[in-house]
């Protein structure tokens, strides 16, 4: 690969793969340091609440209504006009196709109207690189990506160079938080609701299973935990607020323990980095304090460096999409423009090819809850 990393790039990013309508402008300097000039996110949880999960059609309609305003705000806050940006990067998948189409089509229109480079971005690459918005996390690193649609362990050895070590065989980590929240009547978004409900709860009251405990490799499984929570809740006659807190705390602990145990296995497999190996955690579930604490303890025990992007860059945002575009510009990994402009939104788009014989993954299955 030819290194063309000799100048700075200013990129408008657009993210519409789920229920967040987001636009951001970032500048990546030639030395890799980044400045987030604006980072606008509009989240429309209200309209979905009555359905207990994200409804793709409602999300797509909300993106149509909000995206122009969000892009305008991102440009205004950045203090730049379109002629001062180098490129427009937009999520092209994986995600809910209706929403991705809104963002990608808007990006194409802006690129054509202002004669800018269009960069279709894999949403998972945005999460994988998001840590580099705020710190120098040199390649290679081991990535634990834990979001509403994905749970993966990936060796990241450079921009566009990803090797998958493990993935979930059923639910994603965030999905299991969302389903548990629904089961316990906590509402959505599930992750933060479970985390709040768990405050004051006893994590050791319910002994939930350790998924895949005797299975080699780094895959994950969350569906058994969800079933165990349902059975424990059903065994209580008329659950009190304390029962709900104990169930939430016990589930959260079991989920964090599972994530930590599988990560430990991946650490043993991942190629070591000099002078010190690094674990990077990204995706919405990385905002969870119990998950964070257990991974901190693991990294301290193994003498690994640990990076968590700030919470606003862990959950879906457009700064990470702009960054992925800027990083691609820096190393010359941009598709020919006729190809980029013809690209269709993708519901599925694995970041790293699955190991031989494994089931193809890398896409949201649909509404999260």
Interacting residues toward ligand KG4 by CB under 6 A: 18, 147-149, 174-175, 177-178, 189-192, 195, 283-285, 287-288, 315-316, 368
Q: 316, 324, 330, 345: which one contacts Zn ion (CB under 5 A)? A: 316
User: Toward ligand KG4, which CB reaches closer, 117 or 290?
Assistant: 290
Q: Does 243 bind Zn ion (CB under 5 A)?
A: no
Number of residues located near Zn ion, criterion CB under 5 A: 2
Closest by CA to 245, choosing from 284, 205, 210, is 205
Distances (CA, A) of 10 to 43, 71, 155, 174, 325: 25, 15, 27, 32, 9
Among ligand KG4, Zn ion, none, partner that 190 touches (CB below 5 to 8 angstroms by kind): ligand KG4
Q: Give the footprint of Zn ion on residues 140-159 (CB under 5 A).
A: 147
CA angle 100–343–96, rounded 5-degree value: 20
In the complex, the smallest distance separating the C-beta of residue 286 from ligand KG4, rounded to whole angstroms, is: 8
In the complex, the smallest distance separating the C-beta of residue 190 from ligand KG4, rounded to whole angstroms, is: 4
Cα 113 to Cα 81: distance, rounded to the nearest angstrom: 13
Among ligand KG4, Zn ion, none, partner that 192 touches (CB below 5 to 8 angstroms by kind): ligand KG4
In the complex, the smallest distance separating the C-beta of residue 249 from ligand KG4, rounded to whole angstroms, is: 12
In the complex, the smallest distance separating the C-beta of residue 1 from ligand KG4, rounded to whole angstroms, is: 28
Prior bond to 94 cis, omega within 30? yes
State the CB neighbour count (10 A cutoff) for residue 334: 17
User: Toward ligand KG4, which CB reaches closer, 56 or 283?
Assistant: 283
In the complex, the smallest distance separating the C-beta of residue 173 from ligand KG4, rounded to whole angstroms, is: 7
For residue 128 the two structure tokens come to: 């994988």
Alpha-carbon dihedral angle through residues 322, 328, 331, 333, given to the nearest 10 degrees? -160
Q: Does 125 bind Zn ion (CB under 5 A)?
A: no
For residue 135 the two structure tokens come to: 């710190």
3-state secondary structure of 123: helix
């Amino acid at each position: 690969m030819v290194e063309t990393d000799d100048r700075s790039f200013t990129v408008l990013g657009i993210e519409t793969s789920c229920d967040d309508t987001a636009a951001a402008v970032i500048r990546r300097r030639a030395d890799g340091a980044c400045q987030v000039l604006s980072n606008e996110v509009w989240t429309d949880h209200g309209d979905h609440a009555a359905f207990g999960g994200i409804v793709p059609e409602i999300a797509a309609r909300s993106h149509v209504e909000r995206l122009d305003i969000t892009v305008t705000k991102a440009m205004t806050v950045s203090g730049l006009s379109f002629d001062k940006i180098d490129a427009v990067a937009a999520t092209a998948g994986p995600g809910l196709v209706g929403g991705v189409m809104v963002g990608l089509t808007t990006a194409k229109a802006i690129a054509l109207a202002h004669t800018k480079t269009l960069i279709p971005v894999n949403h998972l690459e945005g999460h994988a690189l998001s840590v580099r918005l705020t710190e120098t996390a040199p390649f290679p690193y081991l990535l634990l990506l834990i979001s509403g649609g994905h749970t993966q362990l990936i060796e990241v050895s450079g921009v566009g160079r990803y090797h998958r070590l493990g993935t979930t065989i059923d639910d994603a980590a965030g999905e299991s938080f969302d389903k548990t929240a629904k089961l316990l009547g906590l509402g959505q978004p599930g992750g933060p609701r479970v985390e709040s409900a768990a405050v004051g709860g006893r994590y050791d009251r319910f002994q939930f299973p350790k998924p895949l405990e005797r299975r080699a490799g780094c895959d994950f499984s969350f569906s058994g935990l969800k079933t165990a929570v349902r059975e424990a809740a059903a065994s209580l006659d008329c659950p009190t607020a304390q029962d709900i807190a104990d169930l939430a705390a016990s589930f959260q602990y079991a989920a964090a323990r599972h994530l930590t145990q599988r990560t430990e296995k991946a650490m043993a497999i991942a190629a070591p980095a000099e002078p010190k190996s690094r674990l990077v955690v990204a995706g919405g579930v990385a905002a969870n304090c119990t998950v964070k604490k257990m991974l901190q303890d693991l990294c301290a025990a193994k003498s690994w460096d640990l990076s968590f992007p700030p919470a606003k860059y862990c959950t879906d945002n457009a700064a990470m999409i702009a960054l992925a575009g800027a990083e691609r510009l820096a190393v010359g990994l941009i598709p020919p423009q006729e190809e980029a402009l013809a690209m269709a939104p993708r519901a599925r788009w694995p970041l790293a090819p699955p190991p031989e014989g494994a089931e193809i993954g890398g896409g949201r299955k649909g509404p999260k809850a």
